[in-house]
Structure 1
Amino acid sequence: MMGKPITGRSFGGCIRYVVDKQDAKILAAEGVRMQNTSTLAHDFNLQRKLRPELGKAVGHLVLSWSKEDLAKLNDDIMVERAKEYMEKVGIRDTQFVIVRHSDRAHPHLHLIYNRVDNNGKTISDKNNFAKNVKACKEITLKYGYHLGEGKEKVNRQALKGKEKIRFELYDAIKAAMKTATTWKGLEAALAKQGIKIAYKFRSGTSEKQGVSFEKGEIKMKGSAIDRSLSYAKIDATLNRNQHVHLYHAAMKANEPLVANQFSEAIRQSIQAEYHHSPDSGKGLLQVLLESQFVGAAPDPMGDADVARHKRKKHEAEQSQSQGISR
C-alpha cells in the first residue's frame, strides 16, 4: 500500500475532481452530507470557518494498492484501511469523505478531510511524508499486501507538486552519492543541479545529526525523501566511497598491504549495512567492481579468496590437533 498526502485551499475544486469523476463511488463519510458535491463542499467550508486564518485547510490523500492485492480488497476493507491509516498519522475528530476510483488497473481511493477538526483545532501537516511512509509500511506488512518494487520503478512523468520534487531530489542525491567521497563533494555535485544541503546540529554542539535538502521553495529531510538518505546512512556511504577510492589508489601504486587495510574497512562497512538491512547487503568484490572512481582492479582478497583462506586455515588447525592427539 502506498499513500500520497496533499494539502490544498479549495474544498470545492478537490471535491469536484474526486466525486464527479466517472465511476467514482463514495464509500464512507463523517460530518458531511453526501447528497452531491455542493452539499459536501458547503459542509466542509462551514467547519473551516472555525479557523479562518488557515489557508490550506483541505487534506487530500490518495491510498493505492498493487493490482496483486485486488483479491484481498473490497469496499468495506478499503474503508477500514483508510480509517486505520488516519489513526496512525493523527487525522482524528474531523469531517471526511472516502471515495473509490476505478480508472486505473490498481485499486485506490481518495480521502478528503478537513484540517480544521470538530473542535476548531488544526490538524498538523508537519512531517506528513515521513508519517505517511511509516503508516503505509506498517499496514502493508500487517495485512500482507504486495510490497512495492522501489522508487526506481515509479513513473516520474505521472508525478506532480511536492511528490515530483521528492523524486527529483531522490534521483539527484542517489546519483551524486555514487562518486562523492565527502560531504563537501556531495554539496558541490548537488549545487550544480540547484539543490542545497542544510544540516541539523546537536543542541549546543557542532556535531551534525541530521540533514535536509532544498530545491526551490521545497525543503525536505533526507529520511523523509527515503530512509536510505538519513544523515547517518549517507555519511556511511561517503566513508565507504572514500575507502574504495583509497583502495584503488593503493592498488595502482602497488601497495597491496595498504589496499588490504582499506578492503577490510569496506568489508566491515558492508557487514554493518547487512546487519541493519539484510536485503541490501553486497559482497566486497561486488562493491569494488561497481566502483566508479577508477577502473576497478580485482580485489586481492575477494570474498571467495577469504573463504578459501579460512577453510585452509581451519583444515590446518584440525590436522595439527589430530597430530597432537596421536
Structure 2
Amino acid sequence: MMGKIPKSGKSFKGCVEYCMLKKDAVILDATGLRTGEVKHTIADFNMQRKMCPGLGQAVGHIALNWSPEDSAKLTDELMVNIAKEYLKKMKISDTQVLMVRHHDTDHDHLHIVYNRVDNEGKTISDANQRWKNVKVSKALTLKYGFHMAEGKDRVNRHRLKGADKVKYQIHDQIKAILPNVKSMDELKKQLAMQGIKMHYKYKGGTQEVQGISFSKGEYQFKGSEIDRSLSYGKINKMISDRMEEKLPQPKSLADELREVLKQSGQQTHYLKQEPKPQYLGQEPKTNYLGVLGIDISDDVDDEAIYGRNRRRQEKARTNTR
C-alpha cells in the first residue's frame, strides 16, 4: 500500500466532483459532511473553511493505493479502517473527511478528501507530508501483510501526475547519469542540463554537507525521499568507490626491479632449485637478486674461478717446501 499526495488545492468543488462523480465511485465514509448530493458536500467543506479565511489552499487530498495482489483481502470496511489509521498517524484529525473508493484501474484505491481547517478553525499542517507518507504507508503495509513493491521499475509512469510524476522523472535522470560522472560537481552540471537542480544541506555554521535534495519546477524532494540509494552519503560513496577502482595499482618492489632489468636488456630466470657448488677458497656470496627470483650466476665463468683457485693452491704448496 502506498499513499499519493497531490499538491494542496484551493477548490473543494473540483476535487469533490472528481471523487464522487467518477463512474462506479462508492462513498465509503464521511465525517461532518452531507453526502446525499455533491453540492451539499461541497457546501459543507466551504462553510468550515470560512473559519480560517486566510488559508488559500484548504483542500487536503490523499489517494491510498494497493497492489493488485491485495485485491482478494480488501473489503470496504478494511479500507476504511486502514484509512482512518493512516490519517491518525499522519496527524490529520478533528476535521471533515470524505472517503470514496474508485474502480477505474486494475488496482484498488481509495480517495480521501479532508479540510485543512479543522473543527476548531485551526490549520492542519502539511509540512513534510510526503516524507511522513512514505513512512506511514510502509508501516501499514507491513502491519497488514500487504504486497511490498519490488522496486520503481514496476511503476506505471504514464499514469503519474503532479509531484509523483516529477519525482520519478528526477529518479530516472539521476540513475541514468550517475554511472558516468566522476564527481558530485559533474553530477550537478549534468542534472542542470536536464532542468534538475541539486541542493546541499549544510551542518549549522559549517561547510560540512549533511544532506542533499533535488528540485524540478515547483517541486523539491530529499534525495532519500526519491530513493534510499540517493542520499548524499550513498551517492558520494558510489562515485568515490568507482573512481578508486579505476586508479592504477602501485607496483611492488620486485615488479619494479624486474622491469628495470628487462629494459636494460638483461635476461631474468627463475631461481634454480639446485644450489651452485662452492669451490675451495671461495666464500659463499649472497645472491640478493635470487630472493626476487632472478639468477645472475650464468654471467660467471665457473672454469676461470676453478683454475684461479687451483693455481693459488699449487703456489701455496711450493712456498712451504
Q: Where do 1:1-326 residues align within 5 Å?
A: 1-6=1-6, 7-246=8-247, 250=248
- CA distance in 1: counterparts of 2:251 and 2:141, whole angstroms: 48
Q: Distance between the aligned counterparts of 1:173 and 1:90, measured in 2? A: 33
Task: Choose between structure 1 and 2: higher helix proportion.
Answer: 1
Pairwise CA distance, 1:21: 0.9
Residue 256 of structure 1, CA deviation: 6.7
- TM-score normalized by structure 2? 0.75
- Give the CA RMSD over aligned residues: 1.4
Deviation at 1:51, TM superposition (A): 1.4
Q: Deviations over 1:209-261 (max 9, x none)?
A: 01111212222221222222222222222222222332xxx27xxx577xxxx
Identity among equivalent positions (%) equals: 51
Deviations 1:174-233 (A, max 9, x none): 212112232111111111111111111111111000111121222222122222222222
Distance 2:65 2:251 in 1: 53
Q: Helix, strand or coil: the match of 1:178? A: helix
Secondary structure of 2:220's aligned partner? strand
> 1: CA distance between counterparts of 2:53 and 2:246?
57
Q: Give the match for residue 279 of structure 1.
A: none
What secondary structure does 1:39 align onto? helix
**Aligned partners of 1:232 and 1:88: how far apart in 2?**
29
Secondary structure of 1:35's counterpart equals coil
| Counterpart AA for 2:34 | R
Letter in 1 for 2:31: E
Distance 1:206 1:183 in 2: 15
Q: Which amino acid letter does the alignment assign opposite residue 81 of structure 1?
A: I
Contact 1:173–1:190 (8 Å) recurs in 2: yes
Q: How many aligned positions are there?
A: 251
Distance 1:216 1:238 in 2: 27
**How far apart, CA to CA, are the structure 2 residues paired with 1:244 and 1:191?**
27
The question of whether the paired residues in 2 share the 8 Å contact of 1:179 and 1:241 is answered with no
Tell me, what secondary structure is at the counterpart of 2:180?
coil
Supply the AA of the counterpart residue of 1:76.
Answer: E
In 1, the alpha carbon distance for the partners of 2:97 and 2:110 equals 13
C-alpha displacement of 1:87: 1.1
Which segment is superposed worse, 13-22 or 124-133? 124-133
SS at match of 2:56: coil
Give the greater-gyration-radius structure (CA).
2
Distance in 1, Cα, partners of 2:47 & 2:9: 16
Cα separation, 1, equivalents of 2:59 and 2:47: 13
TM-score (norm 1): 0.74
Secondary structure, counterpart of 1:62 in structure 2 = strand
Amino acid corresponding to residue 119 of structure 2 in structure 1? N
Unaligned segments of structure 2, at least 5 residues: 253-321
Whether the aligned pair in 2 keeps the contact of 1:130 and 1:223 (CA below 8 Å) is: no
- 3-state SS of 1:93 partner: coil
Question: Structure 1, residues 244-303: CA drift from partner, whole Å, max 9, x if none?
Answer: 332xxx27xxx577xxxxxxxxxxxxxxxxxxxxxxxxxxxxxxxxxxxxxxxxxxxxxx
Counterpart of 2:209, as a letter, is: K
